């Protein structure tokens, strides 16, 4: 009888550890890929101004990318497609993987200029 209870206890502990590990992975943003779009501009002021206009629905993110982005991806509304860790400069990667899907990040500075990043999806 005692063996039966010990076996049940071991199985329950194993289930708890497995569930906790899965939850921990999701909570720590362990995604393999992110799909994002961005707008690249020369100054933080320009990035802040565009972000305000996007948030006020004065212009869509995609239209702002087409009109103002200095990156060739602007022609596609800034869409960069999916990318994994280590494929972008560190500041851009961190903001993309930490960002919330469907939201635009705060301006991010890299060696290329200032970016507004819209996280589209995470996998």
Confidence of residue 20 (pLDDT cuts 50, 70, 90): very low
Indicate the Cα dihedral angle 35, 37, 42, 47, nearest 10°.
-110
Q: Among candidates 94, 100, 84, 82, which has minimal Cα distance to 36?
A: 82
Contact at 8 Å (CB) between 119 and 103?
A: yes
Place of tokens 């009109």: 67
Architecture of domain 33-122: Roll (3.10)
Average pLDDT of span 53-82: 97
Query: Reduced to 3 states, what is the DSSP secondary structure of residue 119?
Result: strand
Q: How far apart are CA 45 and CA 51, in angstroms?
A: 10
pTM value is 0.76
Q: Is 56 helix (H, G, I), strand (E, B) or coil?
A: coil
């Amino acid at each position: 009888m005692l063996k039966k209870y010990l076996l049940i206890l071991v199985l329950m502990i194993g289930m708890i550890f497995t569930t906790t590990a899965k939850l921990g992975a999701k909570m720590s943003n362990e995604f393999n890929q992110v799909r994002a779009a961005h707008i690249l501009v020369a100054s933080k002021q320009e990035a802040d101004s565009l972000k305000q206009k996007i948030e006020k629905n004065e212009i869509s993110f995609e239209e702002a990318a087409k009109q103002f982005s200095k990156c060739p991806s602007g022609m596609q509304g800034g869409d960069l497609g999916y990318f994994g860790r280590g494929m972008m400069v560190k500041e851009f990667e961190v903001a993309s993987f930490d960002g919330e899907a469907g939201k635009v990040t705060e301006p991010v500075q890299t060696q290329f200029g200032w970016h507004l990043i819209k996280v589209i999806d995470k996998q």
